[in-house]
Amino acid sequence: MERNLVFIALFAALIAALGLIPQVMLPFGVPITAQSLGVMLCGTVLGARRGGLAVLLFVGLVALGLPLLSGGRGGLGVFASPTAGFVIGFPVAAFVTGWITENWRSAPVGLAAGVAALLGGVVVLYAFGIVGLSVVLGKTLGESALLVTAFLPGDSIKAAIAGMLTMALARARPASVLSRV
Amino acid sequence: MISLTSPVRTAAHGWPAGGKLLALCLATTGLFLVHNLVFQGAAFALCLTIYALPGRLFFVAGFSRLRMLWPFLALIFVWHVVTGTPGQGAVIALRMISAVALANLVTMTTTLGQMIAVVRWLAAPLRRFGISTRPLEIAIAMVVRFTPVLAQKGQALGQSWRARSPRRPGWKIIMPFTLLAIDDAEHVADALRARGGAIDVEPGTKNQ
């Protein structure tokens, strides 16, 4: 029980720490913020329940007023801003990502994690984000969807990276990839 | 870890956090229900006044927190000028700024301890059913304690990379970063178990 609790807390801290380091470079010289990659990793490494709880803890602490989002953002203002949908969707995205990683046992862990990160961390997350955008900006869902399309390629690459990282972690610390234990 | 509470003391710092949160919910609901430009303008003016009351430092700090909204403000401006609906655009923009400003106001006038007290209060029904809320409190303390530690280790990793490569750190750096977090987690879990675990499991004692 303590191990679960500590893993949840430390992965929440990891997401926060990933927001504090400078932007990471992708192969083609495109910078990405590593924080949503951290959300995907919570799902692929910890699984659905623990990953979802880790991200929920993270989002809860942002609501309590800690500047844990990338750029030092935090507090209740985030939940009234246009990106509120994405932040609220983080725990659900991690849960879905974890669920697919845990249950798709016939696929190698890298592939399962990559596809899970894409479906959870991109498709599900963007669904929440688009709804949030449309509410705050007063636009239709279609218009909001159009606004976020520019970020889809970068985030899809992030999902593939999450898959590769999970595969590497499964080799380095197999007992710690709790989604496949 | 520094929270976002403002060091400038205001009258609102002494008000109960639960009351402020409830008032915020009502205010935000009101803002999103009324589409009137005059109402939104008045609400925005009220926000400006509330921020200005504690003094210039508070006002500047508060409005610098709104800087993250400028891309969306630019988007709204362009969109509504192009579609010929400036009134609607103004309502949306003012509403967004006022909602975020009011929410930030609650964050700036409430300490982390007060917020955690609200969470404890909300979780009281769980304690009545015998479910301990101590794991949640430990988890919060652990995140606050370990985020700076992990961030520092991440920066050290970045420096190791830069000592070995002319290029900026790539995505591969996240692998050792995650390993550090996992290894720390194993050690801390052992330490926690050695100190009696996350819940007091002495027989005969009631959970707080």
pLDDT at B149 over 80: yes
Check if A29 contacts B (Cβ < 8 Å): no
A72 domain residue, yes or no: yes
What pLDDT score was predicted for residue A179?
83
Question: Per the structure, how many domains does chain A have?
Answer: 1
CATH of the domain at A38: 1.10.1760.20
pLDDT digits (tens, 9 = 90+) for A15-66: 999 988 777 766 665 667 788 899 999 999 999 999 999 999 999 999 998 9
What pLDDT sits at residue A31? 65
Residues in chain B with CB shorter than 8 Å from the CB of A173 are 179, 182-183
- In this prediction, residue B204 carries a pLDDT of 46
Give per-residue pLDDT as tens, B172-207. Answer: 889 999 999 999 999 999 999 998 887 765 444 454
Q: What is the pLDDT of residue A28?
A: 63
Q: What confidence tens digit (pLDDT) does each residue in A124-148 have?
A: 999 999 999 999 988 889 988 998 8
State yes or no: pLDDT of B129 exceeds 50: yes
Structural domain includes residue A181: no
In which domain, by residue range, is A103 found?
2-176
Domain ranges in chain B are 11-122, 126-194
Contact state of A10 with B181 under an 8 Å Cβ cutoff: yes
pTM, rounded to two decimals: 0.90
The amino acid sitting at B113 is G
pLDDT band at B1 (very low <50, low <70, confident <90, very high): low
CA–CA separation, B181 vs A45, rounded Å? Answer: 12
Note whether B167 contacts A: Cβ–Cβ < 8 A. yes
Q: Which of residues 185-204 of B touch A (CB under 8 A)?
A: 185-186, 188-189, 192-193, 197-199
In this prediction, residue B197 carries a pLDDT of 80
What is the ipTM score, two decimals?
0.90
